[in-house]
Amino acid sequence: MPTITDEWMIGDVKIANRIVVAPMAGISNPAFRGICRSFHPGLVYTEMISDKALYFRNEKTLKMTAMEDNDHPLAMQIFGHDTATMVAAARFLDTQTQCDIIDVNMGCPVNKVIKAKAGSYLMREEAHTVAMMREVVQAVHKPVTVKMRIGFDVEHCNCVTLAQKLESIGVKAIAVHGRTRSQMYEGRADWSYIKKVKEACSIPIIGNGDIRIVHDAQRMLEETHCDAVMIGRGLLGNPWLIAQCSAYLKNETMLPMPTLHERFELVRLHAHRLCEEKGEIVGMREMRGHAAWYVKGLPRSHKLKQALTMITTMAELDQLLSEYECQMADEESFDQV
């Protein structure tokens, strides 16, 4: 099993360790990526960006390509179906952004994307997809990667053959989510297909699916021999998992969970960054979901979680967190009497 301290490469891009932060739609903005960066992952992805929106220079979409100075290495992910607009979008990322890697989404399972024949739909059209990806690879200088599922449904698990074809036309790495499109995010990820893709390809293979605790990351590396583990939903409300996985894979050190104060300070920082990025009205609306994830599992947090889903200002957030901290401190003092 590779150790977490091993550097590895995607094309000419050096990756410092084996922990990768997945692209998550509506989540992986600069604010979230900045929080994750503080725990030192090897590579981070953006949320998926529409090829056509980039092609037509949609103002909101162009803002999605913004990145901070320390946001490296970064893979910017695009999605689409039409070769001309995918090539144009890739060229834009190649020449007009500071991203390090251009990733193509072949894994998104949501109906809106499928109806546009993008995301995991591309796995149904191998000939078109490979031809399109050849054009994309030849049009840019930065390394091109792909994130896919194991197949569109259980009858068509074609990740191995598609991965081999993509490698042959110059794709530099592939992330494999161990579910089919028809599974959406339900059921268990089948890591055996990740292993099959790794055995069939010589480029780096990144394993994705069901990494929730440190031992999941260790087990995926051991069972599949993949080059890195990609964590997505397991980081929602728990970005500490990045550092915990790193420490354990390096020397089997189990880092402690954060204290309540440390947890809430990160919640406040996340909210502050979202407000700086999007303004307080939009930022706090987006923070509602994040705040609820951060407090999940805390004792007697049901009322707090409900209240956090209705916050509109930083002041409201701060007050709710402070009141809960005081409540927990009082209970701890009472228990010690």
d(CA 61, CA 318): 31
Crossing angle for the helix pair 260-278 and 30-37, nearest 10 degrees? 150
The enclosing H or E element of 102 equals: strand 101-106
Q: Tokens at residue 101, please? A: 């890697």
CA 298 to chain centre: 24
Neighbouring CB atoms inside 10 A of 116's CB total 17
Residues β-bridged to residue 77: 48, 103
| Catalytic site includes residue 99 | no
Q: Are 162 and 127 in contact (CB under 8 A)?
A: no
Q: Tokens at residue 330, please? A: 């009082």
d(CA 95, CA 54): 13
Catalytic residue among 36, 99, 108, 275: 108
The enclosing H or E element of 317 equals: helix 314-336
Q: What residues are annotated to the active site? A: 108
